[in-house]
Structure 1
Amino acid sequence: MRDGLDGLSVRKVALEAHVSVGAIQHHYATKDALLVASAEHITSQFMRRAEEVSQQAFAREGGFAAFAAFCELLANASPTESSSGDDVTPSIVWLWYAAKATQPGFVADTFARFWSGTEEYLMGAIIELFPSLDAADEAAHLLAVLDGIAIARAAEPGRMSLSRAQMLVRRHLDCLSRR
């Protein structure tokens, strides 16, 4: 997927996977079906990573730390295991799917389900951590902020470094805490 979703083809996937085009088409009849399966796989990987990061933070520092760790992960402001610790690839892939989701179809539906579930998760955490706030509006606002940071990480990694992204996420969460 180095060329983005529009550059993706069944032929390229088959070549990368060292299988025949027919083998790919047997499992994924269309490019959209392949994209949806890919989005579901990426979502599953993200959810596993989110669970791991949140549990580690919870064990160290409690519920707010777990919430902050999840938010940092959403904004791609969480250090990775890569050698540099500053991998913008998750933001780039997310941006490709977000762009593809602007066109009606299976990818947009899959993307909308994931983002709706993410907003619901944030809303639940806000209800628990900040019961006096309007959880629905705060979750929508927080998700928009985190999305913006992730987009900046993808499009302008020089301007939106890992440390800057972390600082902005923490600043926003501190503002929530003071309300």
Structure 2
Amino acid sequence: MPYIPIEFEKKLKEAKVIIKEQRNDTKTTELEIEQIESYLYGNDEQQLIAVNQLNKMNLRAHLDLCKEYLLSKPSHAAAALLIDSCIEQAIDEEFVFTKDDVEYSFNPRDLERPFDSGGFHVAVEYLSNWFESSDPSFFELCSQQLIHDTFNFLPLSYDEDEGYDLALHVAKVVFGLMNRGNEWNEFLKSAKRNELQVEKTRLS
């Protein structure tokens, strides 16, 4: 495993929480609903713990709490996990989420989960083709960054035709975070050449 810059550690930790949540293997002490409410307005780590507990429940029984939390300018990672669970439980309610001073109105029933989006799958395929065999450690970091970015994009999602650009964005971010920015331009030229060749083959 290569050296991981400090500024990347937080994103990796958030992504790992997301992965654990998806696998249902996050081990935390059960909290009473009053403590969950308190944690929701605590620091980022407390918010993640509280949301993890909420996500084990029937969210329909706690709609007011969920709605109030999403309006409170919450931790992006914790809010993303809660929105994802609302989508998974097919909650048919209008929510308003405040992120970076922008309000998003959405109904979870009308959204797709990040791992189900066409853009996510296309991006994974590109990243795998580019790095999985030649640089497995870099590919792993790209995978973590992709998870982080697609979850933090909620309640929006990436379409299939956005997958290529998403993969390039992820690769550029990781090159920069790993202090390998000098490799980015050469990689980009190679990736675009290959994509052009694939497109020519497809049209021939």
* Structure 2 length-normalised TM: 0.23
Rg bigger for which structure?
Answer: 2
Higher helix share: 1
TM-score by length of structure 1 reads 0.26
Name the one with the larger strand percent.
2
Q: Which has the higher contact order (CA 8 A, sep 6+)?
A: 1
